[in-house]
Copies of this chain bind each other. A is one copy, B any other.
């Protein structure tokens, strides 16, 4: 049976500070032939140290609107006045080449993608406990109240669609967590729903074999 011919589209979301960026980076480093990281396009200005094509593809508003018009984005959203989106060409190219493509986006974009491409796998990354999450939200306790409040509000918002996700990734020990995620992504290729062609093929061959035997052929 031929399995794992096509890559899986994977969305990684999670609480801020849960370490999703680090997990994704480690996955890419350890299995560069297995995974491809999708880089978002954005209209926001590069921050110091950011390079076009590394953190983001930096686009003008006109360029971004043209991408929307040309359906060159898998999904996009506007966030505090700037556009963010996932360029389609790279995603399709990598999936066709059998690589799993990882998108690191927030929950709204994730649900949009899942709706449009139901085969997408959604992972939600969380710290090991609510206590730990609180600790990260509060930080050293030296930040202004507003910063903490806004982080907390964001966390509540981030937690709002977890039920729509496929897997809950608890990031306690990074090393274990990365191995766990790699395991999940590998096993996911063995899902029946991702192997329907191979199954139909085997069934066809069985039927063909039965027919040949009936006709005493083979």
Contact = CB atoms under 8 A, between A and B. Distances in A.
Interface of A: 1, 3, 124, 126, 128-131, 133-134, 137, 148-149, 152-153, 155-156, 159, 162-170, 180, 183-184, 186-187, 190-192, 195-196, 198-199, 201-203, 205-207, 209-210, 213
B149 A206 contact: no
A210 B3 contact: no
A97 B84 CA distance: 47
Copies of the polypeptide in the assembly: 2
Nearest to A187: B184
Q: What are the 5 A-B residue pairs with the smallest beta carbon separation, nearest first?
A: A130-B205, A130-B202, A184-B187, A165-B192, A168-B195
A192 B167 contact: yes
Given A1-B168, A166-B192, A206 B156 contact: yes
Nearest to A186: B183
A170 B133 contact: no
Nearest to A190: B167
Contacts of A156: 203, 206-207, 210
A166 B184 CA distance: 14
B192 A159 contact: no
A186 to B, nearest CB: 7
A148 B213 contact: yes
A67 B107 CA distance: 49
11 contacts: A1-B129, A1-B170, A3-B168, A126-B202, A130-B206, A134-B209, A152-B209, A153-B210, A156-B206, A167-B191, A184-B190
A164 B196 CA distance: 11
